[in-house]
DNA sequence: TTGTACGCGTTATCAT
DNA sequence: ATGATAACGCGTACAA
């Protein structure tokens, strides 16, 4: 390695290490002359700053961790891009870990972050994460932002989207188009996001004096095939359903499949709204009307908030909820327009 | 912070810091008794190992950097997942940075890695990266693996896919299906990957006595919308084209859009092959026939190789080229079967 | 098992 | 005004 140390530079420049350090960090009072000489020698010797030593001394670091459960999901890719951009702006390094929904891996990553003295973290926790995990986190006293997956502990900062509003928009759209028999398809039982989305759906129905039918609300795994399977059973039991709000675009794609098999055409004799606005949404035929959440913006906002926390911002925990938007395509028909 | 130090634990346990250190790292010969007592006190005091201090002392670290140019691209998401998994296995932390094709950001990240004493890095360099960048990297003497984007400097390890073979497979598939007017869509001019893929496409055409038409080879940015825009122009000019090999799945998705707009159906009156096999490929309708490059596997293999380098493996630089595979779905029709 | 010098930058205190 | 001295952050490993 033979790395050049500050002391070596100091010796060569005929000054103390304190002086070199001050030059490097633009602190203290150093004469222009000395400063120039030191800078020159730093360059000449190819000095590389040892952040590790500095961090040890200062008991800080410039490293933050991002824990996701599935980096493969394009939504999180977008979010990570937004976050990464923000981190770079503040000269923070980003650790990435992928829990793959394993609580064990998740815990291991957090422990690792603590050992490495990370100065902050962003968390999209694995499903079924124990509350104890969060309690332990609080005691760690490290700035932590919960992202995307809603979490109702008010002691944490949270950045995500407004699930409730999202499905309200979706449901309202269907109502305006004249639909009265609207189902909700997808999501898994434990999911908080799902609970919120169902809340938006239900509330909008009630606002319009429509009694929600609990049997028209069904779960589905996050895959096209499951969406298809689940909706087939639903439509067979309740043929009067003419529209559906889906928990995710992927599920909506499955529903489309079912409709086609049954000789029905989404956008003509059935209306479908998805959620997420994934790439495929605009590609399928007919293109999927859906709720768009600005993934990149979530990443950016989360990064911004984390940075402010690292800087010492100790206002009460914030909840930054980005508004989703209805993207009208073709899967609901155009009776409205 | 009030973090517990090794010295505090030692004092409380009535032993030396050396003993505690050895207990922590399972080294040396410590009596079972002492070991138990120390472990107990470590736990009791909530000791958190300070990796920073250890790293400083050992002049090493357990942190590696991954530099991508576009984490948003699902291909890299997959690759990152594979890599991340491998890193976790070896207790390495992964720094992620997204250059967004900016040489400046890229340089900044590498500098940051050096300052932070990273023990290795994986690089998918920005386009137009100066050779000087790589030369400088060599002098740094830090284990570095070039991934995905082909790079012809034999001094570096490389892990990627066989672009040439990939498009050969794709082109051959189309030829077998009877197509003779085959375009190549996507990629940008400077790209080495693209050059190789066009090589595979061209060679296969020639093998079959078909003269490649240079005007049927067009560039496109890595986005669906660009793929759509570019292909629209191409098809207008050359309506005789009945099939296309795409540089990327994303571009292929855009081409699908164009076809649909024109009232054509991929898989029926047009045949389309993508490259990458991203998740969406199997989800779109019709599902995209594509070249699978096992992105996850590339990540895993690259991680494995990097780890071995970090461990001191000093064999000559390796080139690990993973064979791609044709994944037949629906976008080419089934005239063959 | 222990004592302690060491890795390298930081900064409060002291000197000119 | 400028700059030097030296203790310090915390775990490691060698000599004793």
Could you read off the pLDDT of B227-256 as tens digits, one per residue?
999 999 999 999 999 999 999 999 999 999
Q: Which nucleotides of D are covered by protein (CB under 7 A)?
A: 1-6, 8-14
Q: Taking CB atoms and an 8 Å limit, are A98 and B85 in contact across chains? A: yes
pLDDT above 80: residue A334: no
Report which secondary-structure segment, H or E, holds A223: none
In A26-82, DSSP assigns E strands to 63-68
Distance between CA atoms of B98 and B126, rounded to whole angstroms?
9
CB pairs under 8 A between A and B: 147
Q: Please state the length of chain A.
A: 337
Asked if A81 reaches chain B (Cβ–Cβ under 8 Å), the answer is: yes
Distance between CA atoms of A102 and A39, rounded to whole angstroms?
49
pLDDT above 70: residue B25: yes
pLDDT above 90: residue A1: no
pLDDT above 60: residue A299: yes
Torsion (CA) A282, A284, A287, A290 in degrees, nearest 10 = -60
In tens, the pLDDT along B276-315 reads: 998 778 877 788 999 999 999 999 999 999 999 999 999 9
Q: Taking CB atoms and an 8 Å limit, are A48 and B114 in contact across chains? A: yes
Asked if A233 reaches chain B (Cβ–Cβ under 8 Å), the answer is: no
CB atoms within 10 A of CB A295: 26
Torsion (CA) A235, A236, A238, A239 in degrees, nearest 10 = 80
Is residue A118 a contact partner of residue A275, using CB atoms and an 8 Å limit? no
CA distances (Å), origin A127, targets A102, A222, B330: 8, 13, 35
Distance between CA atoms of B30 and B11, rounded to whole angstroms?
17
pLDDT above 50: residue A337: no
Q: Check residue A147 and report its DSSP letter.
A: E
In DSSP terms, A218 is beta-bridged to: A185
Asked if A58 reaches chain B (Cβ–Cβ under 8 Å), the answer is: no
| Number of helical (H) and strand (E) elements in chain B, helices listed first | 13, 12
Least confident of A78-82, A167-171, A283-287: A283-287
Using alpha carbons, select from B163, B208, B161, B164 the residue that is nearest to residue B182: B208
Distance between CA atoms of B37 and B14, rounded to whole angstroms?
10
Distance between CA atoms of B121 and B146, rounded to whole angstroms?
9
Q: Check residue B210 and report its DSSP letter.
A: -
CB atoms within 10 A of CB B58: 8
Q: Taking CB atoms and an 8 Å limit, are A96 and B80 in contact across chains? A: yes
- The three-class DSSP label of residue A234 is helix
Distance between CA atoms of A66 and B66, rounded to whole angstroms?
14
CB atoms within 10 A of CB B267: 22
- Residues near B142 by Cβ (< 8 Å), separated by ≥ 6? B113, B114, B118, B119, B120, B121
Q: Please state the length of chain B.
A: 337
Is residue A82 a contact partner of residue B96, using CB atoms and an 8 Å limit? no
| The pLDDT of residue A335 | 45
In tens, the pLDDT along A228-259 reads: 999 999 999 999 999 999 999 989 989 998 99
For helices A249-261 and A224-237, the axis angle rounded to 10 degrees is: 50
Report phi then psi at B141, rounded to 5. 65, 40
What value does the mean pLDDT take over residues A310-315?
Answer: 95
| The pLDDT of residue B334 | 66
What value does the mean pLDDT take over residues A42-65?
Answer: 96
| The pLDDT of residue A260 | 85
What value does the mean pLDDT take over residues A328-333?
Answer: 94
CA B61 from chain centre, in angstroms, equals 23
| The pLDDT of residue B1 | 52
Token pair, residue A148, equals: 């995307």
Which residue is closest to C8 in terms of CA–C1' distance? A53
pLDDT above 90: residue A281: no
- Residues near B335 by Cβ (< 8 Å), separated by ≥ 6? B177, B178
CB atoms within 10 A of CB B148: 25
Asked if A225 reaches chain B (Cβ–Cβ under 8 Å), the answer is: no
| The pLDDT of residue A307 | 98
User: How long is the CA B170 to C1' C16 vector, in angstroms?
Assistant: 79
Chain A neighbors of B250, CB-CB under 8 A: 279
Q: Taking CB atoms and an 8 Å limit, are B88 and A105 in contact across chains? A: yes
Can you give the C-alpha Rg of chain B in angstroms?
26
DSSP 3-state percent helix, strand, coil across chain B (nearest 5): 45, 15, 35
The pairing of strands B120-123 and B63-68 is: parallel
In tens, the pLDDT along A75-114 reads: 899 999 999 999 999 999 999 999 999 999 999 999 999 9
């Amino acid at each position: 390695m033979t790395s050049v140390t500050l002391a070596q530079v100091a010796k060569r420049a005929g000054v103390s290490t304190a002086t070199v350090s001050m030059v490097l960090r633009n602190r203290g009072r150093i004469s222009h002359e000395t400063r120039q000489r030191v800078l020159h020698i730093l360059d000449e010797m190819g000095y590389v700053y040892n952040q590790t030593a500095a961090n040890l001394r200062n008991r800080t670091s410039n490293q933050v961790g991002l824990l996701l459960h599935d980096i493969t999901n394009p939504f999180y890719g977008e979010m990570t891009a937004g976050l990464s951009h923000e981190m770079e702006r503040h000269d923070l390094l980003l650790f990435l870990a992928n829990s793959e929904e394993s609580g064990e891996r998740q815990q291991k990553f957090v422990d690792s972050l603590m050992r490495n003295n990370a100065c902050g973290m962003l968390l999209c926790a694995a499903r079924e994460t124990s509350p104890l995990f969060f309690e332990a986190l609080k005691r760690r006293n490290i700035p932590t932002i919960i992202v995307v997956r809603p979490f109702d502990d008010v002691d944490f900062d949270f950045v995500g989207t407004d699930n409730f509003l999202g499905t309200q928009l979706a449901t309202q759209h269907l109502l305006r188009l004249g639909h009265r028999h609207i189902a909700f398809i997808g999501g898994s039982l434990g999911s908080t996001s799902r609970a919120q989305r169902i809340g938006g759906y239900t509330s909008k129905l009630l606002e319009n004096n429509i009694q929600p039918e609990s049997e028209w609300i069904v779960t589905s795994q996050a895959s096209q095939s499951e969406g298809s399977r689940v909706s087939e059973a639903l439509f067979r039991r309740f043929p009067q359903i003419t529209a559906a709000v889906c928990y995710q675009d992927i599920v909506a794609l499955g529903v489309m499949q079912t409709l086609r098999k049954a000789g029905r055409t989404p956008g003509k004799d059935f209306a479908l709204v998805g959620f997420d606005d994934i790439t495929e949404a605009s590609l399928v035929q007919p293109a999927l009307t859906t709720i768009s959440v600005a993934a990149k913006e979530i990443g950016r906002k989360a990064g911004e908030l984390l940075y402010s926390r690292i800087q010492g911002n100790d206002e009460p925990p914030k909840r930054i909820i980005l508004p989703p938007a209805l993207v009208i395509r073709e899967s609901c028909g155009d009776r409205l327009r």
